Each structure stands twice: as C-alpha cells, then as structure tokens.
Amino acid sequence: MPAVQSPAIVLVTGASGYVAAWIVKTLLSRGFHVRGTVRSSSKGEYLVKLFEEYGSRFSYVLVEDMIVDNAYDESVRGVDAVVHTASPIGVSVHDPEDLIKPAVSGTLNLLESVRRHGSSVKRVVVTSSGQTLLSPKPDNPAIYTEADWGDAAIDEVRTKGANADYIIKYRASKILAERAAWDFVERYKNNITFDLVTVLPSFVFGPLLQEVSSLENLNTSSRMVYDALKAEKSTEDSTKYTANDVDVRDVALVHVKALESDQAGGERFIASRGPFSWQVVYDALNTANPPVSGVPKGVPGAGITTRPNIYSADKAKRVFGIEFRTLQESVVDMVANLREREVEWAAGRL
C-alpha cells in the first residue's frame, strides 16, 4: 500500500511525550502537517508555542484517556496517517493491568476509530519496544532481530501478577499491544485502507523537547538516566550490561521514514545503536570534548562485564538508509538539556 509524503496530515498520539515531541518536530521540519493528541490543553498550548515557527501546520486535540471507547473518533477524521506513541510507562505500577489495559485498549481504540472514521488514512505506525523481542537466548552476545518475540513475559505476568518485575509487566504490555495491532490489521485486511508498521526502540537517550514542570514529572526513561548520573553506582552495577540505547532524534526519524517508505508496510523495525552499561555512559561523558564535569567516573575503560543482548538495527539501516548517532553525542546533549531543566525547576519557571 502507498506510503505518505509531505505535506500529508499526520495524527501523533501522546504528542506531549518525550519520543512523540521529537516525532512531531521531525515531521514539521520535513513539511508535514501534524495534529497531536494531548491530555490537557496546557500541554497542547506548550506544544503550540514550541512549534510556533511552523504556524498552523501544528494543531492539537484533547484525548484525555485513550481507554475510553471511541476516544480517537474525532481526531482521526481527515488525516492521511497516524503515529501511535501513547502508552503508559510508569515504574510504580503494582497491578500489571494498569500497564496492559491502557496499552492494549489504547491501540485497539485507535485502530477501531481509524477503521470507522479514518477512510483517508493510508498508514498507521505504532511505537512498540525493543523489550518485545526479549526471550532468553544462550548465545554470547545474544542477538535479537525483528523475528523475535518475548512472549514468555505474558505467561510470567499471568503467573506472578503484581509480584512480577516491573520490566516484565511493561514488556508484556508492549507485546500484547503490538500483537493486538497486527491481529487487527490481519482481521480487517479486506476492509481497511491502511497498512501497519511498528517501530521498536531500545532505551532512549538524548535531549528533551516536551514540557517537564518538575523533576517528578520527568518521563520514566529520562528519570532513570538522571538518577544513574546523580549517584555513582558500585563497580558491579555500573559495569553490568544494562540495555541497548538509541537517540531520541533517531527514533523520531525512524518513525517518519516508516511513514514515508512504501517498502515499510507490514514490517517491524528495530531502532537501536548498541548495548551499554552505565560505565560506558560515564566514559562517554568524561571523554567528550570538552569533558562533561560533575558526573561519576567509575572504573574508566571497564566497559560491559556481563553478557549483553544486541538488538540488530540492520533492517532500519538498510531500508531507511539511517545511521544511528553515537552514544556520546546522545548523552552529552541529554545531560546539557537536563541541566538546563534543573535550573528551570529550581527557579520554578516551567
């Protein structure tokens, strides 16, 4: 099915989020029109101001809770494509359903609204996660591609319920939401005008564009980075494999390429640079030019001492012609941005 090109109109759900704000900016800078869904008019107005150089090409609509039936009915009317990023991430969830229900219902409500009211929509891009790939593998390193699914997390959450680790609950929510999207387009394949692409980012680093009114309101993954740089970890903790990382600006570009590319229809795309430990992050900051002051030093050069997983982004590189930014560029820019935010939080200006 055909992809979309600028000046098409793209609906971006959860537009005030960390990843989504960069998707919106990337779309606008390439000539697209963007309608963003937000949960409050103050978040919408913040984005209007942030993107004022693009004038009327950016607008927002309120979707306070995507769990509500028909939540997206109005917002999908007249758009050419949709990027669905909205999904809960909060680490403090107890009941796994608090992640699973919004992730799955939000995705299905959106697709149902597009099916019923979005006859102009040609493509839907859903933000999934590299977490959906992770089932145990014996290899060292363990390599993951778009063919992998970590369905064991679903069984683990069913067995352990609230006692499952946070990451297993989150993984299950993302797998169930992505699978629901693929099942939906398969079920309605003869009656819908759009195709589906999913993007699977690894852990996202890089500068923030979205409104963050206080440290407590920092998005979950950025808060993990903030906390990791505030207090030096033990050598064991700082050198163990942590996750794969990717720059938020590259994640945004993969989403936009996923909209623009004919070839992308019906495919999953991993967006990832490579594996990291916190020591690798410390070293990237301390060896930058100029070095970033005031961050932990750890044991320079100790790298990653435990078996890493590697998400292969070869497919995105091949199909989209993307080169991913270095970890050093991502974390240097992120720390600079977080330090500007700290000044604003202290001054109570946001």
Using CB under 6 A, list all residues that contact ligand NDP: 14, 16-20, 39, 43, 63, 65-67, 85-89, 102, 106, 127, 129, 174, 201, 203-204, 219, 221
Q: What tokens were used for 191?
A: 């009656």
149 CB contacts (<8 Å, ≥6 apart)?
132, 133, 135, 175
177: Cα within 13 Å, side-chain hemisphere: 34
Cis preceding-peptide flag for 96 (omega within 30 of 0): no
The phi and psi torsions of 73 (rounded to 5 degrees) equal -55, -45
Farthest CA pair distance, the chain? 58
27/138 with CB nearer ligand NDP: 27
What number of other Cβ atoms are within 10 A of residue 250's Cβ? 25
CB of 10 to ligand NDP, least distance (A): 16
93/302 with CB nearer ligand NDP: 93
CB of 290 to ligand NDP, least distance (A): 27
98/232 with CB nearer ligand NDP: 98
d(CA 125, CA 268) in angstroms, rounded, equals 10
CB of 126 to ligand NDP, least distance (A): 8
CB of 301 to ligand NDP, least distance (A): 26
70/119 with CB nearer ligand NDP: 70
CB of 230 to ligand NDP, least distance (A): 18
70/236 with CB nearer ligand NDP: 70
Order of strands across the sheet that contains 33-38: 58-62, 33-38, 9-13, 81-84, 123-127, 195-201, 268-271
150/201 with CB nearer ligand NDP: 201
CB of 75 to ligand NDP, least distance (A): 11
Residue nearest to ligand NDP (CB): 17
CA distances from 23 to 83, 151, 220 (A): 9, 28, 18
